[in-house]
Amino acid sequence: MATGTGRGPGLRLHHPRQFQRHHGLGRCPRRAGDRAAQPAADRNGLSLDHALCPLRAGQAGLRAGRVGGPYRPHPARDPAETLRHCRDHQSQMGCLVQSGPDAGQRHPDSVASAGEGQAGERTMTKSGERETSPPRMRERLLFITVTLAAMLLTLTISILVVRSTHRSDFEARAHSLADQLQQQLETARSLLVVLSTLYQRDPQLDAGGLGLLARDLIETTPWIELFTFQPLITADDLSHLSEEMYELGLPGFHISRLDPKTHRPVPWKGGKVHLPIVTMEPLTPAMTRYYGLDLLTLPGLDGLPRKAAQSTTPLSLLPKWFLDYPAPMLLVQPTFAGLQTPSAPEERMRQLRGLLIFVLEPERMLGHLSGVKANLEAALYPEAGEQPLAETLPAADNLDLLSALTGMEESIALPGLPLRLVVREHLQPGDYALGLVIPLTLLSGILTLTLLWAWRNHRQIHRARAAAEARIDEERKRAEITLRAISDAVITTDIGLRVLAANPAAGKLCGCPIGALIDHPLFEAIHLIEEETELPIEHLSDLLERTAAEEGDLLLKRADGTQLAVHVTVSDYTDPFGNAAGFVLVLRDVSTERDLTRRLTYQATHDALTGLLNRHAFEHELASALHSAREQGRQHMLCYIDLDQFKLINDTCGHVAGDQVLRQVAGILHQQLREHDVLARLGGDEFGVLLPNCPVEQAREVAERLRETVREYRFRWQGKLFELRASIGVVPITPKTGTLTDLLTAADIACYAAKERGRDNVYLFSTEDRTLRERHGQMQWLPEIRSALSEDRFALYLQPIESILDPRLPWLHEFLVRMCKEGDGESAPGSFIPAAERYDLMKEIDRWVIDHALAWIARQPETLTDLFSINLSGQSLGDPDMADYIIARVQEHGVRCSRLCFEITETAAITNFNEAMTLVTRLRQAGARFALDDFGSGLSSFAYLKQLPLDFLKIDGQFVHDITTDRMDATIVHAIRDIAHTLGVHSIAEFVEDEATRDRLAVIGIDYAQGWHIGRPRALEEIDPAQDMRRRELGS
């Protein structure tokens, strides 16, 4: 580098080769003819041509190609002619000879192209015959496969569409059959009730007269096979009954039972109470042997009197055998002494006089249904059975695909009966419109073949065109590769600042063709502007001065009027004689870098979701407000906003809906603020508002306006409408305000005070406020809990859970934790658990409980069959290491996992669903059981409940406490019991405080009960599980 003469200081004169190395241009080879014509001065290597060497090298590359030259298609030539011309040119280029070391060789690309042109054509066999090449054979197989698949798909869809149109008609006919069947049963029930009422209210009507009435009624109802009457008598009444039967023409009447071997009635004198058959209609000779048969001796009918007496409607039974009738259906109606039917169950049993029974044959019931035809069949099944009682269905073991597609089945449970009706129908060919399906299938095949053929032709044309264009692009790239290697704009001018040359990057940067730059004054070709003053630069001296020693950042105004930030480097160059010849400007686009810097700055200070200030930036604004309050005596106000019920939307609708809510709430809050007020998102569903120079009353009005705005907001998501509420804590910022931490703590306390007042409230912070002082006192639980954890000041209690439905089921015992105070006494869980959950200490408490509970269980005898239940919090469910911790502790204490049951709350399970599924699955694999606690008090999501592998479902106590007086609570408990039994899990009712509640739960069918009536929580030192178990066994 040398300093030129006649120029001001600071101008740098670059040697051309240094310029080339600086910008990655390299040396430019010249042809012999060009070098011979070059002036002597140029051959010294110090001219402007060297600076423009990349431009001429590109032009020389275009001229120094192969002998044939690059192919350029004629613009007016049609596509087919262009394609032929491309192939001819390709063949020509493959045969041309190149100069240099590759002379006499075909170009590799040409050889490859020639090979591709022959691929897919026919090949010759040894016998000289032409055969199809493998690629074409594969193509034909593909065409056939795709066509057949399309036809099969069309056929299937067409049949399914026709089937769906017949579905509603089929369902209507199926329900019509069910209604007929139900009507038959209702008729039989009504007749049975009529007979019972007549017999009960007419003292003159004896068993014989009752039989005659029944026979007349049976003749009108062919689906009733038999009527029997059985009085309920004691052993003392046998002689009187024998006399009555003698008067009716049955001498030698005696009580009998079935012989298990011969299955015939034999005399029997055992038992204190009997239920003998004294009347049968219609009576056949074969049935007379069953007179006197005691129904109480038949299998499964020993408790029949009590069941029938407690039922307010005729009782339905499905015994395996009854009086030569295999698998009949029985309708049983009790009759009582006196004219009025007693209402109390015990009174009904005491006044029970006998039983009237109708025997119904399922086959005949189905036979009297109207609407059963060749392709519509019916079958009667037990409610929970797989073998039919009666059917008109043919054997269908080998169904083909068409039958599977056209078949329909409907299973209908009969209300109040242990039966379900199954109806099936197979569409006939005329039903699914063969005249429409087959033409559609053929049409789809033809259309598929047409599309495949068009696709094949399009692909061949596209390949040929792509090959020709690739050849053309290759030649063009070889000519332009040098200039395109430079990403910065390079502009060369003469000494008079007229543009001599520019690379493509310069035209791109300026937004105009290169021709619009060449041979124009520099400051007319490019428009540079000072960024600070926005004044245009029109002189070289201004440019040099502004760029601060030839370098600096300016704005470039492009041809379309837009502006870019550019970094400019100015260098001058000299001619071979050392005289100034011109300048080289290098412009680099730095707008992306500036945008990135601005974006990073924005992201560092703004919330990505809502676009509001983030917590860090908001704390900076608060610090400035605290400083102005102390230094200048100003008063500002801080509003701390927490959205109520946001978690419900986030958990039920997903995070996408939650994000949408936050964005919309941010927008409506911003509309209610002044221009200089500051709104920020502090995290989660919390927002902060700084009101500069604002009095207390005005701040209260603003807070109320913000609360009302949120209250009036409605969020609609997938057809559901949600409402939000806001709890707002307002804190003054005065000269007496403490640190930033004190200010945020006061805002947090005020916000929670607003929540405790019922949410949807505004609470003004005051150091004299008693409520806030109490709230601050609750925060003192944090060191107390930490101290109790470190000093092992927790105690475990155990509360029993009784099996009230099945005594064979093992009892459960739930571990409860209490915190021992430093002085004396204990703290109930409700006082410190909320603070532990708020400050993320529940995980440590859970681990303490697990460790000490397992240690206590390990000391109990292995013969103890009771289960022990341990509660897990939501924080433990979200802990990925909790399962490993529990398994390690179980192995360490030598406790079998099958003795453990872990309780998780409904809300915690849904909030941490994925983590809960992982933990539950691992521990269940180890043998542990799981219970879902407080079901009904949270979201009660049946979708999550269906997926969770549970063993117990604990019903929240709010539904159990008033179950004996509140019908709604009883209905809810009954529904939850049905859900639990459907899922195959046991149900547990909490808050059982008296014997009436326990009995009511047993009638509903609840498996377990827990509460003070069952047993109060006791300290572990006071409990001997083995002794308690022996006491329960003796009590039972």
* pLDDT tens sequence across 64-79: 333 333 333 334 444 4
pLDDT at 33: 39
Q: Could you give the CA distance from residue 145 to residue 404 in angstroms, rounded to a whole number?
A: 24
More confident residue, 243 or 1015: 1015
Q: Identify the band that residue 62 occupies on the pLDDT scale cut at 50, 70 and 90.
A: very low
Tell me the one-letter amino acid at 30: R
- Tokens representing residue 1013 in the block: 């009536």
Backbone angles phi, psi at 938, to 5 degrees: -105, -130
Q: Could you give the CA distance from residue 827 to residue 850 in angstroms, rounded to a whole number?
A: 19
pLDDT at 362: 83
CATH, range 610-779: 3.30.70.270
Distance of CA 698 to the CA centre of its chain: 45
- At a CB cut-off of 8 Å and minimum separation 6, what does 365 contact? 181, 184, 223, 329, 380, 390
Range name among 151-155, 223-227, 725-729, 916-920 with the lowest pLDDT average: 151-155
Give the bridge partners for 499, in sequence order.
Answer: 493
Q: Could you give the CA distance from residue 315 to residue 357 in angstroms, rounded to a whole number?
A: 9
SS3 sequence, 822-843?
A: CCCCEECHHHHHHHHHHCCCHH
Domain range list for the chain = 16-66+486-595, 198-360, 610-779, 782-1035
Domains 16-66+486-595 and 198-360 alike in fold: yes
> What SS3 state is found at 498?
strand
- At a CB cut-off of 8 Å and minimum separation 6, what does 890 contact? 854, 897, 900, 926
- Tokens representing residue 137 in the block: 């054979």
Q: Identify the band that residue 552 occupies on the pLDDT scale cut at 50, 70 and 90.
A: low
Token pair 């529940």: residue: 842
CATH architecture, domain defined by 782-1035: Alpha-Beta Barrel (3.20)
The answer to whether 1004 and 998 are in contact (CB under 8 A) is: no
Token pair 């479902």: residue: 953
Phi-psi label, residue 561: left if phi above 0, alpha if psi -120 to 50, beta otherwise: left
Range name among 721-730, 988-997, 1027-1036 with the lowest pLDDT average: 1027-1036
Q: Mean pLDDT in the chain?
A: 78
pLDDT at 21: 40
- At a CB cut-off of 8 Å and minimum separation 6, what does 438 contact? none
The shares of helix, strand and coil residues in the chain, as percent rounded to the nearest 5, are 45, 20, 30
Q: Report pLDDT digits (tens) over 448-503.
A: 878 888 887 888 888 888 888 888 888 767 756 765 677 888 888 998 899 988 88
Superfamily of domain 16-66+486-595: PAS domain (3.30.450.20)
- At a CB cut-off of 8 Å and minimum separation 6, what does 645 contact? 722, 723, 724, 725
Instruction: Count CB neighbours of 168 within 10 A.
Output: 9
Q: Is the peptide bond before 282 cis (omega within 30 degrees of 0)?
A: yes
> In what helix (H) or strand (E) does residue 791 lie, and over which residues does it extend?
helix 781-791
Q: Report pLDDT digits (tens) over 770-829.
A: 556 556 555 667 778 888 888 888 999 999 999 998 888 889 999 999 998 876 778 878
Exposed/middle/buried for residue 372 (C-beta within 10 Å: 0-12, 13-18, 19+)? middle
Best-predicted range by mean pLDDT among 372-376, 384-388, 529-533, 940-944? Answer: 529-533
pLDDT at 698: 93
Sign of CA dihedral 30, 36, 40, 44: positive
Instruction: Count CB neighbours of 878 within 10 A.
Output: 16
- Tokens representing residue 893 in the block: 């204490």
The answer to whether 614 and 678 are in contact (CB under 8 A) is: no
Q: Does domain 198-360 have CATH number 3.30.360.10?
A: no
Tell me the one-letter amino acid at 880: P
Exposed/middle/buried for residue 269 (C-beta within 10 Å: 0-12, 13-18, 19+)? exposed
Per-residue pLDDT, averaged over 510-527, amounts to: 88
Query: What is the percent of the chain where pLDDT is above 90?
Result: 24
User: Is a pLDDT exceeding 90 seen at residue 153?
Assistant: no
Q: HSE on the CB side for 256, CA within 13 Å?
A: 19
Q: Report pLDDT digits (tens) over 819-869.
A: 988 767 788 787 788 778 877 888 999 999 999 999 999 988 877 788 999
pLDDT at 26: 39
